[in-house]
């Protein structure tokens, strides 16, 4: 698991930007600006939708601080596009279909659902500074209030 002060692993993966355009996103291209990278299990599920909506609602405030908000899941770009359009999301969604990025960030591991154990995405958020280093890490247990906590941390880092 990456910790505060570690350099964030670079990546180049398919994405859908907030306007619905497909493309690729490279973390290195975002250097010099803060990046909020949130890993979530699956498009269109209740908690994941709430989390993406909360980050979208606060997108103007993140942008005012120069930050880019990026969500990552194993869903395909086509799934991301449907999710983004249906929910009117204002964040970029990255497709990590092989879960390589999830593993490199430590956002992949054992989970349980209805008593059944499996491997999956662990809801985790990283605040990456403009220098490419991890400034904060959240291992999210509750979605409610999470986006606000990330924004508050970014505001604190800016002062």
Q: How far apart are CA 124 and CA 27, in angstroms?
A: 17
Percent of the chain's residues with pLDDT above 90: 90
- For 33-158, CATH number out of 1.25.40.10, 3.90.1150.10, 3.40.30.10, 3.30.70.1230 equals 3.40.30.10
* 48 is an active site residue: yes
Question: What pLDDT sits at residue 71?
Answer: 98
Domain ranges of the chain: 33-158
Residue 113 has pLDDT above 70, yes or no: yes
Q: pLDDT category, 112, cuts 50, 70, 90?
A: confident
- The better pLDDT of the pair 128, 118 is held by 128
Question: What pLDDT sits at residue 159?
Answer: 52
**If we measure between CA atoms, which residue out of 20, 120, 10, 11 comes closest to residue 77?**
20
| Set 25, 35, 36, 48: catalytic member | 48
């Amino acid at each position: 698991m990456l910790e505060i002060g570690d350099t964030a692993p670079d990546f180049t993966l398919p994405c859908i930007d907030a306007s619905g355009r497909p493309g690729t996103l490279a973390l290195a291209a975002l250097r010099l600006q803060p990046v909020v990278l949130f890993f979530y299990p699956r498009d269109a599920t209740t908690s994941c939708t709430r989390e993406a909506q909360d980050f979208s609602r606060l997108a103007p405030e993140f942008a005012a601080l120069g930050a880019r908000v990026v969500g990552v899941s194993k869903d395909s770009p086509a799934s991301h596009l449907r999710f983004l359009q249906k929910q009117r999301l204002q964040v970029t969604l990255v497709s990590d279909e092989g879960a390589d990025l999830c593993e490199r960030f430590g956002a992949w591991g054992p989970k349980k659902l209805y008593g059944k154990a499996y491997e999956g995405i662990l809801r985790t958020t990283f605040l990456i500074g403009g220098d490419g280093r991890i400034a904060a890490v959240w291992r999210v247990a509750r979605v409610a209030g999470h986006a606000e906590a990330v924004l508050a941390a970014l505001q604190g880092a800016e002062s």
